Chain A
Amino acid sequence: MSEFDSYWCFGRAEETLRSAIALRRANRDHVNLYFLSGLAVEHALGAIRTKRAGLRRPDYEALRPTHHLGRLARHGGLEEELAQTMRRSHAFSAHWRAVVTWVSNARYAKVGAREALDLHNAVSDARTGVMPWLRTIYHGR
């Protein structure tokens, strides 16, 4: 059951990122581009937590503050893998540090295009982005 539910949760992460990519390609709605890019990471971290802890769904409610990606990563047991990857890759380290400052309430803020595109790239960059790294972790490669 937990494998199925974490699979569903990681699917949400991928679907959310696809929505963000569509916005980037259309070069519109930068507030949502920012929000959805970070939300994809939140879902992916939730999926990893669900899978590793054998839960039926992510237990976000155990965290304060609930949407802090750094706290979610720690909650998912990713601290050591994260530290190792950051030591190996300067580019990944810069991307992670940008992503971890994601603010879920930014959907109510005047986030500019530059900031939104920057966060989206930090999440989705094929070589040193956060989502490709989370995919590798989730799928156990």
Chain B
Amino acid sequence: MIVAGEQLADKLDTLGLAPELVAWLYDPDLEEWRLLIATLAVDTIGRTKLYSGLLDLFDAGAFGDALTVDDVQFVASWERSYERLRAFAEPSATADAHVYRCAPTPDPSRAERRGRIFVKRARQAARRAA
């Protein structure tokens, strides 16, 4: 699970998204672990396009049983989870969190550009794999 999360974070970087916060976080309400991908691109290009890219990414290459697309959740800057992740100053592991990265929030235009590049490249990767 930890390794698969890191592999996904690396893949998102390769495809240009470079999310600012990536972490497994335990949701006490749902009683489930979620791999949270926090990126300002959610606010700038919308969640649907990012999920479409994520689906393409999982179509293009498996991450094994340790990670499915259902485990992954995009987080917008206004959500409580974003604030919860922002509280981590550096990569760390606690009882209810495994934080891979905490990069500064990019400016909105850069986040939008990263989001659009990711969606395009993920689509291309899925086509190549099909």
Contacts and interface: CB of A to CB of B under 8 A. Distances in A.
Main DSSP-derived SS at the A contact region:
helix
Interface string B65-92: 0000100011010110000000000000
Contacts, number: 59
Contacts of B47: 97-98, 101, 115, 118-119, 122
A44 B43 CA distance: 26
Contacts of A111: 76, 78
Interface residues of B, number: 21
B76 A98 contact: no
Interface residues of A, number: 25
A92 to B, nearest CB: 11
B95 interface: no
Contacts of A126: none
A97 B46 contact: no
A103 B79 CA distance: 9
Interface in A72-122: 90-91, 93-95, 97-98, 101, 103, 106, 109-112, 114-115, 117-119, 121-122
A141 interface: no
10 contacts: A90-B55, A94-B48, A94-B51, A94-B55, A97-B55, A98-B48, A112-B78, A114-B44, A115-B78, A119-B47
Given A68-B29, A114-B46, 14 more contacts: A65-B30, A90-B55, A94-B48, A94-B49, A101-B74, A109-B78, A112-B43, A112-B78, A114-B43, A114-B44, A114-B45, A115-B46, A115-B47, A119-B47
